[in-house]
Structure 1
Amino acid sequence: MSDKKKAIELLRTTYLRGPNIWTYRPAMEVWLDLGELEDHPSHLLPGFNDRLLKLLPALEEHHCGVGERGGFIQRLREGTWAGHILEHCVIELLNRAGMPTGFGQTRSVSQRGVYRMVFRARDEQVGRTALSQGHALLMAAINDEPFDVEAAVAAVREAIDDCYLGPSTACIVAAATERGIPHIRLNDGNLVQLGYGARQRRIWTAETDLTSAIAENIACDKDLTKMLLQACGVPVPEGQIVASAAEAWEAAQDIGLPVVVKPSDGNHGRGVALDLRQQADIEAAFTLADSHGSEVIVERCIPGDEHRLLVVGGQVVAAARGESAWITGDGKSTVVQLIDSQINSDPRRGTTEDHPLNRLSVEEDEVIRLDLQRQGFAPGDVPPAGRRLLVQRNGNVAIDCTDEVHPEVAHVVSLAARAVGLDIAGVDLVCEDVGRPLAEQGGAIVEVNAGPGLLMHLKPAEGTPRPVGQQIVAHLFPEDEDDPHPGRIPIVGVAGSADCTFIARLVARLVHLSGRPTALACADGLFLGHRRTEKAGKQYWDACHRLLMNREAQAAVFENPAALILDNGLPYDRCQVGLVTDLGGHEALAHHDITEADQLYRVLRTQIDVVLSDGVGVLNGNEERVAEMASLCDGEVLFYACEGADGLPACVADHLSQGGRAAVMTGQRVSLRSGSSEQGAIELGQILHRRGQTAGPARLQALLAAVATAWAFGISPELIAAGIETFEQPLA
C-alpha cells in the first residue's frame, strides 16, 4: 500500500488490579494516540475491513454496543475508529488463546485523536502480550502487510502458560469466586490465599493450610504409610525394603511372584515397574527404581486396574480408573511408529493440560522400554502382524468411576487418608472392580498422596467431570447460615479528599474498640491496632493489599483517594461500609484528563459500587452530587448532613421520611435518626469541651462523617462517644 499509515502510539499502559472506573475486575487501561488514523475510520480505509476479517473471522461473533452477533461488523462497516478496533483485536486474541474475555471499552479524551482503551485482563503480563500482538495485527491489516495470526495466538498462550494458575489451583479459585470468596495470589506459582485477614485459608495446588506437614512427610514414605495403614486394618500389599538387585530377587521369591518394584519416595509413577516375574526383569527394575528414590520397595503385585480416589475432609468425592495401553503389529511399522499411530493419535492425548491423557514417549519413559524388553522387543523393532504388545500397564488414571465406588471401598479409602492425617488425599488402590469390597477380590491400597492432582477428575478422558474444586472450598469454608460472607472480614472504605485521613484513623479506632483487631491503611501509614507497621510510600496499593494478608486483622479500614482508584483500582473487591465525603481534589488529576470536580463522580462512585448487598453506603447529604450516588448502592444508604437554617437537604429529609437512616448534626450535636425516631446522640460540643479543644466547620464535618460510618458499621452510640473522647489525635 503506497499510503502507509503510521502506527498507533501507545502513550501509557496501566494495569488496574482492583475495582475501577471501568469494571469490578482487573483490567488493562491503554492511552492511545491515533495520529493520522483519527481522520481515517474503518469505512475510509480501502479493503481494511475484509483484510481484518480474514485475519480474525471470529470477530463476527462480537456483539459490541449493538448487542447482537455481528454487532462489531456493523460498526466496522458504518465506520469506527482504530482504538475501538484494537480493543476487539486484543479481546479476540485472548479468546483464541484460551482466556475468554468479553469486556472492553474505548473512550475519547479531551485531546483530539487520543483515546482510553480498556479490556479485561486477568494477568498483567498476559494483557501486555495480547496488547502488543493485537497492535501489530491491526497495523498489518491497515497497511495490507502479512501477519502470522497463529504465532500471535501462540505468544499469548505462552504468556498464559507462564503466568496463569495450574488447573488444580484454578478450579479451586474459581469455586471460591462462585461463593463470593476473594483470593490473593501470593507468589508466581500456585500459592493462593482465599479470603481476607483473619478469615483466610491458603492453598498450594490441592494442599491447604490444614494439611499437616507430618502427614505429608508420612505420605512421602511409602513403607511408613503401609505400616500405619496396616495397623488400622487397611489392606495393603505385602512388601519389603531392599538394598540391591540381588535382595530384590530374594524378596520377590519370599513374597511370591509376580511383584512390583518401586522407589519408596517417588511420585507420579516414576520408576514403578509392575507385574514382574523373571529375575532379570526384577533386577533391572531395581536399578530403575533406585534412580528415582532413596530406597526401593518390592511388593506383591495386586491383580486389577489402578484407581485414584480423591478424599476431601474425610469423604470420597471423586474416583478415576486407569487402563492398559496396547499396540498390534502390522508387519511393517516399528514399535515407535505403532505407538504414534495407534495410541498417540487419540485426540485426548497430548502434552498440555488440555489433554486428559499423556502422549506416550518411548524415549522418555524407562518403564515403557523395560516392559517392551520383557516382551522381547526394542523400540525400533517391527512386531509381526497381529502380535499384541503391552506398552503401558496402567496408563493415565482418567476414566471417571465415581458412581461405581462401593461404600465399603469408600470407607476404607477414607480411613487410609485419616490414618496418614491428610485433609485432602489422592488414594491409589488396585482392584479388579471398585464396585465390590476389596476383601472379596484381593484388592489393596498401594499409596496415599498429599497434594493430589485434580485434572483427572476435572477433565476425565471418559465419564462425568466432578466439581472437586467446589468440594475443597466447602471443606475450607463450611456452609453456615449465620455467615453470609465466608472468608471475608468487614472492610470500611473511605473515599474523597476532605479530611479523609483523620476520618479513616478515627473510624479504625472505633472499630478496634468494638472488639476487632483492625488494620488501617491511610496517608499516615499502615497500622494494626495502635502499632504502625510501615509508612505509606509510593507503592500504597501494594501496602494496602498486604494488610489483607495479615492473619491478625479481623477488620480493615482503607483511605482511598481518587488517584489510587485511577492508578490501580481499589485494593479489595467488596466492602461492608463505603463512605464518600466529597468530589474535591480534581486539580491534581489533570494527567487522568480530569479537569473539573464533576468528573470525579465516576471515579468515587467506585467506592459505592463495591458495597455488599447487606452493607451500607455512607454519603454526604450536603453534597448534591455525592448524594446522587445513593441509587448505585447495592446495600443500605445512610446519609450524614449538617442541618442549616433552612432545615435538612431535601434528599436527607425524603430518606428519613421513607424510614431510612441519617446522622444529622445540629450545632455540635449529632442525632442518629432512623425514620422519625432518634436512636442515640453524640454530644460533640461536650466532648470537645472536656478535651479543651475547639473544632472548626471542616473538622466538625469530618467528625460527623466518622460518626455516621461507625454507626453504619454497627457500633453503638455510647461506644462511638467514648472512642471519640479517648481518640489519641487532636479533634481540633
Structure 2
Amino acid sequence: MAKFNTIQLLRTTFLRGPSVWTYRPVLEVWLDLGELEDYPSNKIPGLNERLTTWLPDLIEHTCGVGERGGFIQRLEGGTWMGHVMEHVIIELLNLAGMPAEFGQTREISKRGVYRMVFRCPEEAVARVALEHGHQLLMAAINDEPYDIKPAVHAIKTAINDRYLGPSTGCIVDAASERRIPHIRLNDGNLVQLGYGAAQRRIWTAESDQTSAIAEGIAQDKDFTKRLLTACGVPVPEGQIVASPEEAWEVAQEIGFPVTVKPSDGNHARGVTLELSKEADIKAAFALALPEGSDVIVEKFIDGVEHRLLVVGDKVVAATKGETVSVYGNGKATLRELVAVLNEDPRRGPEQEYPLDWIKLDAGAVKLELNRQHVTPDSVIAQGQSVLLQRNGNMAIDCLDDVHPDVAYYAVLAAKIVGLDIAGMDMILKDVSQPMQGQGAILEVNAGPGLLMHLKPTSGAPRPVGMAIADHLFPREDGAGAGRIPVVGIVGTQNNAFIARLVGWLLQLSGKLTGVASDEGMFLSNRQTQKTNTANWAGAHRLLTNRLAQAAVIQTTSRSILEEGLAYDRCLVGVVTDMQGFESLPDHDVLEAGQMRRVMRTQIDVVLDEGAGVLNADLPEVADLAELCDGEVVLYTTQAENEAVAAHRANTEAQHEGGRAVLIKGNNVVLATGAQERVLGTLDALSLPGGKKPDTSALLAAIATAWALDITPDLIGAGIKTFEYNA
C-alpha cells in the first residue's frame, strides 16, 4: 500500500475561556488533510481495525450518534480524518487519566481543511496530546507499528507536571460545582476563587484567611506544644536537643520509649517511633536533623496514629494509620517481598496515590530493619513478619467513629494555634472514646494534604474540598458567591464609550469599578493603563484586582476567536452590532451571517439572574434574545420598532412584559411592558459642557445600567457628570 503524506497542522490556538465552541478551554487545530480528503475511514484498508486494537475503548465514544459504539459506526460508515484525530486525542487523554469528553471537527471553506477542537484545561497537556494523537493516526493510516504506552506516559507526565495537585484540585472542583469561578495565578497551586473583591485565594489547603503567624506557630512543634499545654490540651512531654548525645540524655530523663522527630518538618519525614536503645536514638537524631531546623525528643505514647481535618469550627474528615509489615515465605528475600508490596495500586510516587512506595534505602526504614537485624537481601522465614514503617500511613477513614470529645480537642487546638484549616495529628488508643487519659495531640499542621481523605485505602471518601469551599464562601452568600457584577460588551460601535459610561454609573452606585477597554484600563474612572485592554489579558488583570467590586469589559470578535472570553459568566452581556466580518478572513469568517456564531458567545455566558442587552435596531442582534439565559433588555432609536413592541408585550418571559429603552420624540423612555418612564430629553442627557454622545451608544449604556438595577435618577444624574475624553 502506498504511503499517505502526513496531515498538516496549519495552526494551533488555545482558547482559554468561553468561545464559539464551548464554555471551557479548548485547543483549536487547523488541519490540512491533503490527499486524505479523498480517503474517509472506510476507504483505507485495515485502518479501523488498527485503531480499535490500539484504542479498544473507542467503543465507549457515543459521538453524534448518541449511543455506545456511535463513533465506531461512524468509522465503519466512513468519516474524515480530522474527526478521527479528534477522537484519537480524546481517547489518549482518557487513558492518561484526564477525561476530555468534548470535541468537534468542522470543515472550512477551503477543501480539505478542517478546524478540530478538543477540551483540555492546560495548553501544555493539550499540545502533547495533539502531537501523539497525530503520530498515532498517521501510523494507523499507513499501517506502521506503533506503541501506545510511550504516548500515554508522555501525556500523563505532562498532566503531572502541569495540573493542580489533588488538594488544590478538589477545592477548585468543589468551587466549580457551586459555580464559583477560578483563575490559576501561577504554574503551581496558587489559585484565585472568585473575581475581584469577592475573591479568595488558596494554595493547596491553605487560604488567604490562614494567618501567617499561625502557620509559623504550627511549624514550630515545640512552641505549639507549649501553647497547647498552657490551654489544657494533652500533648506528649518533650524537649529540643542539639546533638545525638543530648538526645540520649533527654530520652533517659523522659523515660523510654521515646520518639525522635524534626521540630518543623512535615509528611512524617524524619520521624522515628518507640526508641529505647542509645544507638537507635542517636541514629534517629541523624535522620531528623536534615528535615527541620531542630530535633525534638518526646515521650512515645502507645496508640494508633490519627489525622483529623479541621475546617472552621468542625472536624470534616478523619483517618487512622496502620503499620506496614511483610511476611516471609522462607524463599523470597525482603527486597522481593517489598517489590510485591509496592505493586499495590494504592502505592505510587505521585501525589495521586494515597500511599507511597516503600523504599528500603530510606533512613527510617533502614533503622527499623537494623532494629530487627535484617537486610534487604535477607531471606525471611515462613510466617516471620518484618516491620517496615510505623508511621505516615494514615489512610483508613474513621470519621464516623470520632468521639465528640476528640473532635472538641482537635478544633480547640486549631483555634489555639490560630488556623482556619488544620490537620491534627493525634495518637489515640480508641478514637470512639473521650480524649483524656487515652491520647494526645502530636502536631498541628497548616496546609494539610487532603489526598488521604479523598482516596482512603478503606472507608468512605470525604468531600473535604466542598467543606473548604463552603468555609471560604458560606452557603448563605447564595448563587452569587465569589462573583462581582461583570459586564461584557462586544461589537464595534462606540463600545469604549459605553464601557466607560457604564463603569462611571456603577462607580456612582457605590461599587469601586474597573473598566477594560480599547481606550485603556480604568479604576474608579482613573486611567491606570493607556494601551488597548479590550482583550483576554486586560480582562484577566481586571478580574484579579482585589479592589474591583465591579468590572466592565470590552471585547472584540477577534479576541473571542483567538483567545476566548476571560470570564466564565457575566451578569450583563451587551451586543451592539455584528459588523467586522471583513477583517476576519483568516478565521474563515467570509460573510456577515457568520458573525452570529461569534457574537452569540457574549450572550451565551449571561447568568440566569443576569440580562442580555441587545440593539433592536439591528434584527440580527435582536434575534440573539432567544439564546439568553437571563432577562433581555432591548434598546432602539425607533419608537415603533416591531421587535421592541413584541418584547414589551411578552408577559411570559417577564411578568410585567419585557424591558426596553427607546426614543419617543426627543425623550429617552424606560419601558417595562406597557409602563413608561421618561428619563429625560436627549438634550438634557448630555455630557458636561453640552457634549452630545452618539444616541445609540447612549441608549446602550442606559439599558445596561438599568439592567444592573441602577436607579433611573442616578442614571440621569450620572450621564450629566460623566467627563469623557476619548
TM-score range (shorter-chain normalised) is over 0.9
Q: Alpha carbons of 1:43 and 1:538: their partners in 2 closer, same or farther (altered >3 Å)?
A: farther
Contact 1:321 1:398 in 2 (8 A): yes
Residue 454 (structure 2) pairs with residue 462 (structure 1)? no
Q: Distance in 1 between matches of 2:128 and 2:399?
A: 41
Q: CA deviation at 1:581?
A: 0.8
Give the counterpart letter for 2:53 in structure 1. K
Shift of 1:110: 0.8
1:476 corresponds to which of 453, 472, 477: 472
Which residue is equivalent to 2:203? 204
The aligned counterpart of 1:520 is: 515
Equivalent-residue separation in structure 1 for 2:282 and 2:511 (angstroms): 64
> Deviation per CA, 1:126-159, whole angstroms, max 9, x where unpaired?
1111111111111111111111111111111111
1:660 counterpart residue number: 658
Change (3 A) 1:401 1:389: same
Letter in 2 for 1:200: Q
Q: State the match for 2:568 in structure 1.
A: 573
- Residue pair 2:500, 2:515 contacting (<8 A) in 1 also: yes
1:432 matched to 2:429: yes
Cα displacement (A) at 1:537: 4.5
SS at match of 2:683: helix
Which letter does structure 2 place at the counterpart of 1:293?
G
Which residue matches 1:606? 601
What pairs up with 1:546-585 in 2 under 5 angstroms? 546-585=541-580
Cα distance per residue 1:352-411 (max 9 Å; x no partner): 334322110111x21111111112222222333333222111241100001110000000
1:691/1:725 contact within 8 Å kept = no
Where do 1:660-679 residues align within 5 Å?
660-679=658-677
Q: Which residue of 482, 500, 504 maps to 2:499?
A: 504
Structure-to-structure mapping, 1:228-267, within 5 angstroms = 228-267=227-266
1:679 positional shift = 3.7
Check conservation: 1:680, 1:717, Cα contact below 8 A.
no
Q: Kindly state the Cα deviation for residue 485 of structure 1 after the two structures are TM-superposed.
A: 0.8
- Of 680, 683, 687 in structure 2, the residue corresponding to residue 682 of structure 1 is 680
| Structure 1 residue ranges without an equivalent (≥5) | none
Q: Distance in 2 between matches of 1:721 and 1:689?
A: 10
**1:350 alignment partner, SS class:** coil
Q: Give the Cα–Cα distance (whole angstroms) in 1 for the partners of residues 603 and 265 of structure 2.
A: 53
In structure 2, the partner of 1:89 is: 88
- Give the aligned CA root-mean-square deviation in angstroms: 1.5
Q: How many residues align?
A: 720
Alignment-derived partner of residue 453 in structure 1: 449
**Secondary structure, counterpart of 2:449 in structure 1:** coil
CA distance in 2, matches of 1:151, 1:689: 65
The one of 617, 625, 629 equivalent to 1:622 is: 617
What is aligned with 1:720? 715
In 2: Cα distance, 1:515 partner to 1:71 partner:
54
Amino acid at match of 2:474: P
State how 1:249-398 maps to structure 2 within 5 Å: 249-341=248-340, 343-363=341-361, 365-398=362-395
Q: Which letter does structure 1 place at the counterpart of 2:167? A: S
AA in 2 matched with 1:603: V
Q: Which residue, out of 540, 543, 553, partners 1:545?
A: 540
User: In 2, Cα distance between the equivalents of 1:546 and 1:410?
Assistant: 42
CA apart distance, 1:728: 1.0
* Deviation of 1:290 (Å): 2.1
Comparing 370-379 with 451-460, greater Cα deviation is found at: 370-379
What secondary structure does 2:553 align onto? strand
Change (3 A) 1:56 1:502: same
- Residues 263-289 of structure 1, C-alpha deviations (whole Å, 9 max, x = no match): 111211111110011122112212222
Aligned 1:106-185 pairs, distance under 5 A: 106-185=105-184
Partner residue of 1:190? Answer: 189
Q: Distance in 2 between matches of 1:625 and 1:408?
A: 66
Structure 1 residues 338 and 730: alpha-carbon distance in aligned structure 2, compared to 1, 3 A threshold: closer
CA distance in 2, matches of 1:336, 1:225: 39
Decide whether aligned partners of structure 1 residues 640 and 521 sit closer, same or farther in structure 2, where only a CA change above 3 A counts.
same
TM-score (structure 1 length as normaliser):
0.96
- CA distance in structure 2 between the partners assigned to 1:77 and 1:294 by the alignment: 66
Deviation at 1:561, TM superposition (A): 1.1
1:429–1:445 distance in 2 versus 1, CA, 3 Å: same
* SS of equivalent to 2:448: coil
- Deviation of the 1:439 alpha carbon: 1.5
Task: Assess, with a 3 A threshold, how the Cα gap between structure 1 residues 527 and 386 changes in structure 2: closer, same or farther.
Answer: same
Q: Distance in 1 between the 2:334 and 2:144 partners?
A: 46
Are the structure 2 counterparts of residues 694 and 188 from structure 1 closer, same or farther at C-alpha, using a change threshold of 3 Å?
closer
Quick check: 1:487 aligned with 2:482?
yes
The Cα of 1:539 is off from its aligned counterpart by 9.0
Note closer, same or farther for the CA distance 1:40–1:244 as it changes in structure 2 (3 Å cut): same
Out of 398, 401, 421, the residue aligned to residue 401 of structure 1 is 398
The one-letter amino acid paired with 1:314 is: D
1:100 is matched with 99
Q: 2:431 is matched by which residue type in structure 1?
A: V
Q: Aligned residue for 1:56?
A: 55
Give the partner amino acid of 1:588.
S
Partner deviation per Cα, 1:683-702 (whole Å, 9 max, x = no partner): 2222339733355xxx1111
Letter in 1 for 2:400: D
Q: Matches of 2:568 and 2:450 in 1, distance apart?
A: 28
Counterpart CA distance in 1 for 2:692 and 2:552 is 27
Q: Report the more deviating stretch, 619-628 or 547-556.
A: 619-628
Deviates more, 1:518-527 or 1:45-54: 45-54
For residue 234 of structure 1, what is the amino acid of its counterpart? V
- Whole-Å separation in 1 of the counterparts to 2:701 and 2:534: 26
Quote the residue 1:650 is aligned against. 642
Shift in Å, 1:37: 0.8
Q: 1:686, 1:539 → 2: CA distance?
A: 31
Runs of 5+ consecutive residues of structure 2 not aligned to the other structure: 651-656
Identity of aligned residues (%): 59
> Residue 668 of structure 1 contacts residue 700 of structure 1 at CA under 8 Å; is this kept in 2?
no
Which has the larger displacement, 658-667 or 231-240?
658-667
Offset, 1:721: 1.3
8 Å CA contact 1:198–1:554 kept in 2: the answer is yes
Q: Distance in 2 between matches of 1:690 and 1:305?
A: 75
Q: Distance in 2 between matches of 1:428 and 1:501?
A: 56
Q: Tell me the TM-score normalized by structure 2.
A: 0.97
